[in-house]
A and B are shown apart, each in its own frame.
Chain A
């Protein structure tokens, strides 16, 4: 039972354009959501997060949008750069003390075409 789903295994985007990565979740108890970026042969690195009390969080070129009613979140990267080529994982958890376990999606491989 996949509680966090990333339905697009791969995505190719032209350099300079917007990249949109999507993530859906089924567990209503999740109220904290994160995006991680992973390069080959390296560990995942934290990118951006959002609490369920917000619907948008922005950090430079990266913006995460949360639609709680649809149980959907998305990561927007604008403008996309070649260094953004990586695998992106969506993750979810509770936000309470004691609910730190992260549940990950299966990842989306983003390729930025120069």
Chain B
């Protein structure tokens, strides 16, 4: 199993540009989520999904869109990039099986810089 994969690893955007951060998992996990990590802020939840066709907002959703058309993929779209979206983005998944813990498995991250 490759686990949780993210592409690209690095990206530089200009203000106003749009892009999609890709996330895929091959563990058949129902739950997937996106976090951003900023210095002194820990990891903050952007959006999450409990299954294909179902998404919901997290703590910091503004400026981001998500969709979940398959169990495997959970892309994060930046509609019009702003310097405040400069961050490291992590995708994570969880099997969401009854009786199991809430351990989430994280991808390696995408470092995004918006100029």
Contact present for A34 and B103 (CB under 8 Å): yes
State how many angstroms separate the Cβ of A50 from the closest Cβ of chain B: 9
Most buried by B among A6, A32, A41, A44: A44
Contact present for B42 and A45 (CB under 8 Å): no
Contact present for B106 and A104 (CB under 8 Å): no
A-B pairs under 8 A by CB, number: 67
Name the A residues within 8 Å of B106 (CB-CB).
Answer: 36, 43-45
State how many angstroms separate the Cβ of B5 from the closest Cβ of chain A: 10
Contact present for A102 and B45 (CB under 8 Å): yes
A43 to B90, CA, bound (A): 7
Fill in one digit per residue for A43-66: 1 if any B CB lies within 8 Å of its CB, else 0: 111100101000000000000000
By DSSP majority rule, is chain B's interface helix, strand, loop, or mixed?
strand
The contact of B42 among A32, A42, A100, A105, by CB within 8 Å, is A105
- Chain A interface residue number, banded: 20 to 34
A93 and B43 contact, Cβ closer than 8 Å, known pairs A43-B90, A43-B107, A100-B94 = no
Fill in one digit per residue for A8-36: 1 if any B CB lies within 8 Å of its CB, else 0: 01000000000000000000000010101
Query: Closest residue of chain B to A5, judged by CB?
Result: B42
Contact present for B109 and A106 (CB under 8 Å): no
Name the A residues within 8 Å of B2 (CB-CB).
Answer: none
The contact of B40 among A34, A41, A99, A106, by CB within 8 Å, is A106
15 new A-B contacts at CB < 8 Å, known A6-B42, A41-B108, A95-B101: A32-B102, A34-B103, A36-B106, A42-B109, A46-B103, A49-B101, A89-B43, A95-B102, A97-B96, A99-B102, A101-B45, A101-B58, A102-B102, A103-B45, A107-B42
